[in-house]
């Protein structure tokens, strides 16, 4: 597995990721907020990492040496997770979201 369900990306509703990720807007203009998707848990929460990856259509298998979960389909094994001091952010989910009215 390198990438799952890539052909469906256009239809992906990123709000389904919110049980596991918090969207943090960073730069705001009149119509667009570019921000970051931060994993809500720490890097010991294997179950949550696997649940999130199971529904995510942006998963890309990382180098085998960088994986830390024995179950392949896990955000912890995804090339698009960027480790933080106590967790990770996802750089694969869309970061331009319309601002709430």
Partner 1 sequence: MTTTWLICIDDTDDIGTKGTGEIAEEIMHLIEAKSALSSVNKQGGNRATWVTRHQLFVHPDIPYTSHNSAMCFELESDLTLDQIKQLCIVHLVAESAAVADPGLAIVDKHSLSADDCQKLICFGVDAKQRVKSQHDAYQLAKTVNVDLSEHGGSGQGVIGALAGIGLRLSGNDGRLKGQVSVGLSAAVPSVLLSVEHITEHCGLDGVMDVNGHMLEGHEQILLSGKVKAVFHRHLFLLLVHQVPEPQTGALQWCNALRQQLKKY
In the chain, DSSP assigns E strands to 21-28, 32-39, 81-84, 87-90, 96-98
The reply on whether position 79 binds partner 1 by CB under 8 A is yes
Segment lying near partner 1 (by CB under 8 A), choices 4-12, 21-29, 67-75, 93-101: 67-75
Cα(59)–Cα(93) distance, integer angstroms: 9
Closer Cβ to partner 1, 27 or 100, answer by number: 27
**Kindly report the CA angle at 31 between 29 and 33, in degrees rounded to 5?**
60
Provide, rounded to whole angstroms, the least separation between the CB of residue 72 and partner 1: 10
**Does the footprint of partner 1 cover residue 101 (CB under 8 A)?**
no
Residue 61 interacts with partner 1 (CB under 8 A): yes or no: no
């Amino acid at each position: 597995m390198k990438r799952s369900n890539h052909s469906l990306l256009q239809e992906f509703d990123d709000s389904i990721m919110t049980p596991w990720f918090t969207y943090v807007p960073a730069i705001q203009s009149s119509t667009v907020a570019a921000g970051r998707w931060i994993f809500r848990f720490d890097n010991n929460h294997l179950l949550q990492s696997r649940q999130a990856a199971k529904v995510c259509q942006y998963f890309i298998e990382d180098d085998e040496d960088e994986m830390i979960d024995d179950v392949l389909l896990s955000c912890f094994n995804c090339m698009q997770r960027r480790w933080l001091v106590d967790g990770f952010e996802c750089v694969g989910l869309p970061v331009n979201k319309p601002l709430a009215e």
